Amino acid sequence: MYEFIPLVAGVVIALLVQSLASAKLRLLALVLLSTVCGAVATIISGEILVSPAYLAFDIAQALLAAGVTMLLVAWLHRGRTPPLR
């Protein structure tokens, strides 16, 4: 159950970050928010008491989910821009 928290958080973060104007700002927000959500998921689940390695695992899950979502959204919007004349 707790493994879904970083995955869902990563997807939500990516969808929210898409509206930011600058690519650098999007990347920074994506990394920071994914790190925070991964850390919170590790603490909530109590996995941090077992091993600090779970912290890295949950952060990586959130970042991977956010990155894949960003790529999918970019791919889906790729063909929707009107051609230049």
Kindly report, residue by residue over 15-64, the tens digit of the pLDDT: 999 888 888 999 999 999 999 999 999 999 999 999 999 999 999 999 99
Q: Is residue 82 one of the residues assigned to a domain?
A: no
Question: For residues 14 and 45, what is the distance between their CA atoms, to the nearest angstrom?
Answer: 23
Of 3, 65, 1, the C-alpha closest to 33 is 65
Query: SS3 helix, strand, coil % of the chain, rounded to 5?
Result: 80, 0, 20
Tell me the whole-structure pTM to 2 decimals. Answer: 0.84
Question: For residues 5 and 20, what is the distance between their CA atoms, to the nearest angstrom?
Answer: 23
Structural tokens at position 40: 């919170």
- Tell me how many domains the chain contains: 1
- Who has greater pLDDT, 80 or 56? 56
Question: For residues 66 and 53, what is the distance between their CA atoms, to the nearest angstrom?
Answer: 20
| Domain interval for residue 68 | 36-77
